[in-house]
Chains A and B, each alone.
Chain A
């Protein structure tokens, strides 16, 4: 089996071109498909149900993809219970089913290593003073990691010394931040948080109180989706500009990622494009027939990751829509696909006499 080390040993996290990537990723993802088939009964049955044939796979594009919602409905794992090191859950709203992702030590560690490779190509290596734009309580329960908590703990590895920007009532801790900035005056500062939290509790708190901070030497990484911000009609450009207005920050990078494939995140480059790293890829598919979309065509985002060994999540069909912008030719110089995320797919409007809210989930 092709080891994940092969990917970690590559010097540049965005160095593989289309051909090289297809070769390496196809081999690894085929190996993972075999591994999960042998170790996860449900997954084996799913492959069987679609008459999956290993011999017919020419590229990772031919592999089956599991809809992400399956991780809410089923407990899918490829390791024995005693080897489960932690279980991550998606941060669903109350009453909704949440995804359960089972990690063993190896997969958890590979997630962390991949994340370090990817992110440090933007931040430079070495740890930085870090401001986490969230509240401390979000990571309290370490046995059940929510997506928010997992994100914070994942990124915390880049922080030398870190503070939380918000208290548990989500108030901005201005004094602590100022003190922190004063202490690390000449250092590059890393800021991390979830897009909506940053907008709601950081940007608005500064803006509404006419406060300013000097983060001109900072780099902000944020993720978690634009859904809530779209309701407030805030575009990514607007987001960046408004933040610069209140704290002078120039280096802002969004990322696309999900709890079902932690580690292999898709970072936004200087040109505003999300990029697939060596560790993973996306395929945009048409809903009508699941065929691959052309560049510029809107479709459903399939995500593939070389990391997951403890659960069969290496090829997933998300419920997000996106557009492939190009491959190997982004002006930023990174190899691989670059794309845009448009947001969640529209919910179905279904006729019929069954209660709609009962019908959508069993």
Chain B
């Protein structure tokens, strides 16, 4: 038994914490959500990251640093914490971060800490500068005498795919949080949870964007440029391969042709200057396009540019299986709403549809669309906000999932 345990612990690389204390993680007391110690700790970590010159090069690290500032934590506290309730963290949370989003692990950890839990976080095994920056800063703040007691609440680890290690860590936790995709979820689910334990899973999702052509054309050039930058952050920044990245652009209003031209012209300008284009992406996108064209009627390649940075497949109908044909790195389906926004229902009426990013002033139209009873769409956000993390994500309330309320009569 002991030997097997040691063998498995030896497969784990600890970036924070160590094996001896990890096996005793169950003995740690849960904390009150949003307690001062945690809020101050995160605020110090935020400071340390904001002052770090290297961190400035990574907008995702900066975003994280802002998300854990004291003011931001207090806002979350106000939104989620009800002081009339007696509540505590669930205990131990085992987080499995996605392998190719560098900073997601940090948001997951911060969520676990803010809700009063001890945390085991599997960080991406790939070497990301962002991960190193955050881990280094975190260890530095953690070495401060004031936060000594928090050491037992944070384990940042790396290990290669291994069922036995998954078993071990799952056995230690009261809540498991798996940040997809689908294959990772089914892999980790082979390790059974304790009977009392719960799970939050973020499956593979897709997202879409909606632009009202009249609204867009009325923006001044600065705002149009901002829209281009926002859209870039929503898509190209993560190779258009995050679950939050729009794969399709839906156009509404009655000046679609004009708006399209302007929107894509400005987007293209930006992509040309900023995006790190990889040769094979051109071949991949052309392949995806032709597969779609072979299977569906009335598909058109809308390029308009002399290069392969942005490839757009115009579809005349939104069939239910359209997203089976999706690709990344600058590959978009485009659809023009002819009469009624409900025409796009097929694309949204699906558990896999996550975020609807909008550039429009017709909010009622969007509400009506959702309230028509769609199965999908868990977030509706403005352009540029698709990646903004919140304790409500993918339709889950993470605060509620990671805490428990003690009824006291």
Contact = CB atoms under 8 A, between A and B. Distances in A.
Interface string B129-172: 00000000000000000000000000000000000000000000
B243 A287 contact: no
Q: How large is the interface on A (under 10, 10 to 19, 20 to 34, 35 or more residues)?
A: 35 or more
A356 B180 CA distance: 11
B161 to A, nearest CB: 11
Given A42-B294, A290-B308, A353 B329 contact: no
Contacts of B99: 355-356
B293 A349 contact: no
A346 B180 contact: no
B329 A348 contact: yes
Given A45-B299, A288-B277, A356-B100, A350 B239 contact: yes
A43 B280 CA distance: 23
A67 B290 contact: yes
Contact of A287 (B101, B181, B182, B279): B279
Contacts of A48: 293
Contact of A348 (B180, B204, B245, B281): B281
B294 A45 contact: yes
A300 B242 contact: no
Contacts of A67: 283, 286-287, 290
Interface string A317-356: 1010100000000000000000000000111111111111
Contacts of B296: 45
Contacts of B101: 351-353
Contacts of B179: 353
Interface string A115-151: 0000000000000000000000000000000000000
B297 interface: yes
A358 B100 CA distance: 13
Given A289-B306, A347-B280, A353 B291 contact: no
B62 interface: no
Contacts of B104: 353
A272 to B, nearest CB: 25
A270 interface: no
Nearest to B204: A354
A348 B284 contact: yes
A22 to B, nearest CB: 24
Q: How large is the interface on B (under 10, 10 to 19, 20 to 34, 35 or more residues)?
A: 35 or more
A287 B280 contact: yes
B345 interface: no
Contacts of A346: 278-280
B289 interface: yes
A300 B308 CA distance: 13
Counting chain B CB atoms within 10 Å of each CB, the highest count among A49, A69, A287 belongs to A49
A350 B183 contact: no
Contacts of A290: 282, 308
B278 A349 contact: yes
B214 interface: no
A353 B283 contact: no
Nearest to B185: A355
A287 B283 contact: yes
A345 B290 CA distance: 20
A300 B281 CA distance: 12
A70 interface: yes
A355 to B, nearest CB: 4
A348 B280 contact: yes
A51 interface: yes
A286 B388 CA distance: 36
A205 B102 CA distance: 47
A351 B308 CA distance: 19
Given A300-B283, A353-B242, A348 B183 contact: no
A355 B180 contact: yes
A73 B295 CA distance: 11
B89 interface: no
A271 interface: no
Contact of A352 (B241, B280, B287, B325): B241
A74 interface: yes
Interface in A25-60: 42-43, 45-46, 48-51
B328 interface: yes
B287 A70 contact: yes
25 contacts: A48-B293, A49-B290, A67-B286, A70-B290, A70-B291, A287-B280, A288-B308, A300-B282, A317-B283, A319-B283, A321-B279, A347-B280, A348-B278, A348-B329, A350-B329, A351-B241, A352-B238, A353-B179, A353-B241, A353-B243, A354-B180, A354-B242, A354-B328, A355-B180, A358-B204
Closest 3 CB pairs of A and B: A352-B241, A287-B279, A49-B293
Given A45-B296, A350-B100, A359-B328, 7 more contacts: A49-B299, A70-B287, A287-B281, A287-B282, A319-B283, A353-B202, A357-B183
